[in-house]
Amino acid sequence: MRYHVGIGCSFGASEHNAHKQLAEKMDATFINLSEPGQGNFRIYTELLYWSAVNQEKLTDTTFSIGWSGIYRNDVIEKTDRDDRGFKWTRWRADRDDPTHKNLPALMDIELDQTVRFLSHVISTQHLLKDLKCKYVMYNAIDTHIDRSTFDTNTALTIKILEKQIDMTSFYEFKTSHSKYIATNKYFLNSEPASIIQKITNWPTDDSQYPVVDAHPSPEGDSKWADLVWEHSKDNQIL
């Protein structure tokens, strides 16, 4: 039996998600490890754990990874743990979060989150390469790496780290699923609502485009899956 494991945030958790559609294109049994809101540290850790406890499936398994937003951080709580002894909780480094009061005053949040993201990508690629598993990855949420904020030495270091990424296995590193659906307005529900969610930093003509839910519509997932699939076939990575 052939398996396809998909993992990401809420962009991978719907019934019509792109990971599932990739599995269908390969006629593989789909295993979904995606969870709404999870960050990239948790994505890497869950992938590491699944690979460790399912070694007998690895020779017949492919993977797709939809990286989450770089400001999403995951920590393990002390209480109410699951049967693995874990309970994840999360916080956002780019928001006025109570957790900020516990962060070092000198922490460079933009640089810290960028380095963490690149480290997770590189570590995941090394893991799957060592396991001899085929995979494709992409940004589900825009990474928002603003290189203009970095000084010359920092920008050079980031460039060195990025060069460690196998871009053949990474579909369109400088864009994301979220940007794609915003550009084409493939939102899950784009009807005006009484409570309008304002989308900022989206590449649309109207930055106040009213949406009820900014997750991908079935069409937005289907078209994105087609793009990732074509890239995967062209580069023979799945």
CA–CA separation, 170 and 166 (whole Å): 7
Assign domain 3-185+217-234 to a CATH class. Answer: alpha beta
- Tell me, what's the pLDDT at 146? 72
Give the count of alpha carbons within 13 A of 168, CB side only. Answer: 7
> Which pLDDT tens digit goes with each residue over 188-234?
875 544 333 444 344 444 444 454 577 899 999 999 999 999 999 99
Residue 81 tokens read as 């743990």
- Tell me, what's the pLDDT at 197? 41
Residue 181 tokens read as 């659906």
- Tell me, what's the pLDDT at 204? 44
pTM above 0.85, yes or no: no
Per-residue pLDDT tens digits of the chain, which is 238 residues long: 999 999 999 999 999 999 999 999 999 999 999 999 899 999 999 999 999 999 999 999 999 999 999 888 887 777 766 676 777 776 666 555 555 555 555 567 778 888 889 999 999 999 999 999 999 999 999 876 777 778 888 888 989 999 999 999 999 999 999 999 988 888 887 554 433 344 434 444 444 445 457 789 999 999 999 999 999 999 999 9
- Tell me, what's the pLDDT at 104? 53
Residues β-bridged to residue 88: 76
Residue 210 tokens read as 């009213």
Q: Interhelix angle for 177-184 vs 218-234, to 10°?
A: 130
Domain ranges of the chain: 3-185+217-234
Residue 150 tokens read as 């970095």
